[in-house]
Structure 1
Amino acid sequence: MPRRRNINFNADAPQVARDLIGALLLVDGVGGLIVETEAYDMADPASHSHGGPRPRNLSLFGPPRHVYVYRSYGIHWCLNLVCREAGHGAGVLIRAIQPTHGLDVMRQRRGLQDERVLCSGPGRVAQALGITREHDGLPVDQPPFELQPASARTDVIAGVRIGISKAIDLPWRFGLAGSRFVSRPFPVVPMSSASAESAD
């Protein structure tokens, strides 16, 4: 299968979020294909970086190609990949994964069998992959992480982000066209990865 060039994590968050669709993400050999992401930037009032660096969000300010982990609503861990230059404060939330590696491990962690819902939401992704605060700040291209770029033929769709109350009209949610593993359907038309990569 043809592979795309390495993902440029120095790019803007929406570009990185698109480029991550179809990429293979593993944690200790467990994971699958990224099928849904959301982009966040420091100029974005919905982003954790909008108010500047704090102890809780320091990893979001870089360096790029590292992991930012936070707890949502005090319950679920969420996995983000940091982009842009160090100090900027931008990242990509991994919202859904199509499980391909270590399904038995993911099923045990999640307490269910249906592979479609093992990783269909950011909290589910983190639980299935065993993500905790201990992963915060680690590089995504070194163990326990492994990240392989997507196929060049990936078709990407876009829409507004989910579960936020600010900047709700930004079309910064991206997904793999036709995937049954996304957390929620995309009511929009597909755009090819080629056109996505030329955007911005």
Structure 2
Amino acid sequence: MSVDQLAVAPPAAARRLLGSVLWSGPVGVRIVEVEAYGGDPGGPWPDPASHSGRGPTKRNAVMFGPSGVLYVYLSYGTHICVNVTSGPNGSASAVLLRSGEVIAGLDEVRARRPTARAEADLARGPGNFGSSLGITLADYGTELLDPAAPIRLVLNDPTDPERIAVGPRVGVSLAADTPWRFWLPDSPAVSTYRRSPRAPRPVP
């Protein structure tokens, strides 16, 4: 398993992650929905909606490093959002893991997510995805393709492109029509698309 598989353009990395599994201890979550994010204007994939869209900071530093590294941040002061860095070293980009299916450690996940109504809800949405795996801000910078890491990414065979749905990203006010959200439409764990009320009207 090589980081080279993710050292590609953000949409290609996002597609590559679909169907793969993120493990944290005994809990495994199959990735069924992702969003790609680029970087600053000087890089190959300028993206004003990205955390790295204005250049490097202490918060987004790992986005400018090698691929296959865990980038986590706190959203709205409560939710841990989980990202996998992509692209070659020095070119900022990452993939947000939006939703997944719990394939192992179901009892542990249910204990972490007691308000989930159904199994499909356990890791649906980026905040729930992080909660289901017990990921915290302390896990920032974990090398996910290291077999000895506490959080590990297992890349399964690439998903057939015909099985992947494509659309705009959820909740962003900038570059709201960029079709960098990818998901497996046959999965019940995929989240509902919601356009940001601050985004301009959709481009016809």
- The TM tier, using the shorter chain, reads 0.7 to 0.9
Counterpart position of 2:185: 177
Counterpart position of 2:150: 144
- SS of 2:49's partner is coil
- SS of 1:14's partner is helix
| Residue-by-residue CA offset, 1:135-172 (whole Å, 9 max, x unaligned) | 10110112212222234454211111001100011110
Counterpart position of 1:165: 173
RMSD across aligned positions (CA): 2.0
- 1:109 and 2:112 correspond: yes
Counterpart position of 1:190: none
> Structure 2 regions of 5+ residues with no counterpart?
40-45, 195-204
Given that residues 7 and 149 in structure 1 are in contact (C-alpha distance below 8 angstroms), is that contact kept between their aligned partners in structure 2? no
Provide the rounded CA distance (Å) in 1 between the counterparts of 2:14 and 2:33. Answer: 8
> Structure 1 regions of 5+ residues with no counterpart?
187-200
Deviation at 1:178, TM superposition (A): 1.2
- 1:126 and 2:126 correspond: no
Given that residues 9 and 87 in structure 2 are in contact (C-alpha distance below 8 angstroms), is that contact kept between their aligned partners in structure 1? yes
- SS of 1:94's partner is strand
Identity among equivalent pairs (%): 39
- SS of 1:93's partner is strand
> Across the two proteins, how many residue pairs are aligned to each other?
183
Moved more, 148-157 or 133-142: 148-157
Given that residues 16 and 159 in structure 2 are in contact (C-alpha distance below 8 angstroms), is that contact kept between their aligned partners in structure 1? no
Deviation at 1:60, TM superposition (A): 1.6
1:20-169 equivalent positions in 2, closer than 5 A: 20-42=17-39, 43-112=46-115, 114-142=118-146, 143-152=149-158, 154=160, 155-169=163-177
Amino acid at match of 2:128: R
Alpha carbons of 1:101 and 1:41: their partners in 2 closer, same or farther (altered >3 Å)?
same
Deviation at 1:13, TM superposition (A): 0.8
Query: What TM-score, normalized to structure 2?
Result: 0.84
Given that residues 7 and 19 in structure 1 are in contact (C-alpha distance below 8 angstroms), is that contact kept between their aligned partners in structure 2? no
Provide the rounded CA distance (Å) in 1 between the counterparts of 2:38 and 2:189. Answer: 25
Deviation >4 Å, runs of 4+: 4-7
Query: What TM-score, normalized to structure 1?
Result: 0.85
Determine which of 1, 8, 11 is the counterpart of 2:8: 11
Structure scoring higher RCO (CA < 8 A, sep ≥ 6) equals 1
Deviation at 1:18, TM superposition (A): 0.7
Provide the rounded CA distance (Å) in 1 between the counterparts of 2:102 and 2:89. Answer: 31
Deviation at 1:24, TM superposition (A): 1.4
Moved more, 158-167 or 142-151: 142-151
